[in-house]
Amino acid sequence: MKAETILTAELEYESQSLLGEGPVWDARARRLIWVDIEGFAVHLYDPVARDHGAINVGQFVGSLAVRKSGGLVLALKSGFATLDPETGEITPIADAESHLPDNRFNDGKCDPAGRFWAGTLALDEDNGAGKGNLYCLGADHRVELKIPGVWISNGLAWTEDERTMYYIDSPAQKVVAYDYDKASGEIANPRTVITVPASEMGYPDGMTIDEEGMLWIAHWDGGHVCRWNPRTGEEMAEIKVPVSRPTSCVFGGEDFGTLYITSARTRLSAEKLAAEPLAGSVFKCRPGVRGLPMREFAG
């Protein structure tokens, strides 16, 4: 069933990010932070002042989260680390995949207890089936393997009641729900709640959740972000984006009512890039529903 509501995103910040990803709304600093995975950069942007800065971290950076104690936690090619945005100093925490040099980290997010979950994929993505994994970094800096044998570890979200986790392995074309225990961080009882038709909609990539418990998913090669109901599996709304590769989204702004959308230009043909001059930029939309504040890393 097609979405009843069709919206259009507008440009927020023009960028040439190769693989813009993992947007985070830093509520304390009132700024949007995202990564350019293949550009080795962390971007920091104040949408009110229109002030932008970038920090080169010297390697693939898959995702990040705000630290409660200050600064950021990153999922780098070399593993988990912290970043001081003021000085650019990076401090390693743990390398979960030192034995897998042909993998890198991808999407990540903090759970309701302040643990940082992030997954990996093979650098040779086309032949990466089963080579990725989902990990959880605790506040004590211990790393746990949560879901082994994935292909392209992507979107994460937790329900407001803190009892369900949603997860995307992009080539599987579905969102899987898990029972989630906040105290232990354990997940159980996986079941498919959304199935995305590949030929029509592209691959499900990054996602976020709104105050009504609906999931907003960026569709790689689909040119849109869609709102899905995980209770019924139905598509509810569509935001058209003027690029083919939106990658992820996050609610932000003073009222958490603005949906910011990252995008990519990597591996697009010259013809495609000419038709999509804004590929790699950040877009925004006011969809009429609010999101939830993002959790910070407790470690």
Whether pLDDT at 2 is above 80: no
Buried b (16+ CB within 10 A) or exposed e, 181-190: eeeebebeee
Three-state SS letters, 220-244: ECCCEEEEEECCCCEEEEEEECCCC
Q: Which residue is catalytic, options 205, 210, 221, 255?
A: 205
Q: Residue 36 catalytic?
A: no
- pLDDT for position 265: 98
Largest CA distance in the chain: 51
C-alpha 160, offset from chain centre: 18
Residue 249 resides in a domain: yes
Q: Are 68 and 59 in contact (CB under 8 A)?
A: no
Give dist(CA 298, CA 116) in Å, integer: 8
Pick from 104, 125, 134: nearest CA to 171: 125
Residue 94 resides in a domain: yes
Reported as a single tens digit per residue, the pLDDT across 228-240 is 999 999 999 999 9
Whether pLDDT at 1 is above 70: no
Pick from 95, 10, 77: nearest CA to 282: 10
For the beta carbon of residue 1, count every other beta carbon within 10 angstroms. Answer: 8
Give dist(CA 142, CA 158) in Å, integer: 21
Mean pLDDT of the chain: 97
Secondary structure of residue 14 in the 3-state scheme: coil
Pairing mode of beta strands 164-169, 153-158: antiparallel
Residues in the chain: 299
Residue 106 resides in a domain: yes
Residue 11 resides in a domain: yes
Residue 290 resides in a domain: no
User: Which structure tokens are listed for 240?
Assistant: 């058209």
Sign of the alpha-carbon dihedral angle for 11, 267, 223, 286: negative
Backbone angles phi and psi of 82, in degrees to 5: -110, 155
- What is the band of 224 on the pLDDT scale with cuts at 50, 70, 90? very high
Residue 298 resides in a domain: no
CA distances from 292 to 23, 258, 284 (A): 14, 11, 16
- Total domains in the chain come to 1
Mean pLDDT of 112-125: 98
Residue 294 resides in a domain: no
Residue 68 resides in a domain: yes
CA distances from 208 to 96, 149, 216, 249, 276 (A): 25, 23, 5, 6, 25
Domain that holds residue 145: 5-285
Unique residue bearing structure tokens 């790393």: 143
Give dist(CA 73, CA 64) in Å, integer: 5
Mean pLDDT of 47-57: 97
For the beta carbon of residue 299, count every other beta carbon within 10 angstroms. Answer: 20
User: Which structure tokens are listed for 250?
Assistant: 């996050």
User: Which structure tokens are listed for 236?
Assistant: 């509810």
N-to-C CA span, the chain: 43
- What is the band of 198 on the pLDDT scale with cuts at 50, 70, 90? confident
Residue 175 sits in a domain whose CATH number is: 2.120.10.30
Reported as a single tens digit per residue, the pLDDT across 121-163 is 999 999 999 999 999 999 999 999 999 999 999 999 999 999 9
- pLDDT for position 202: 95
Give dist(CA 81, CA 88) in Å, integer: 12
Whether pLDDT at 44 is above 60: yes
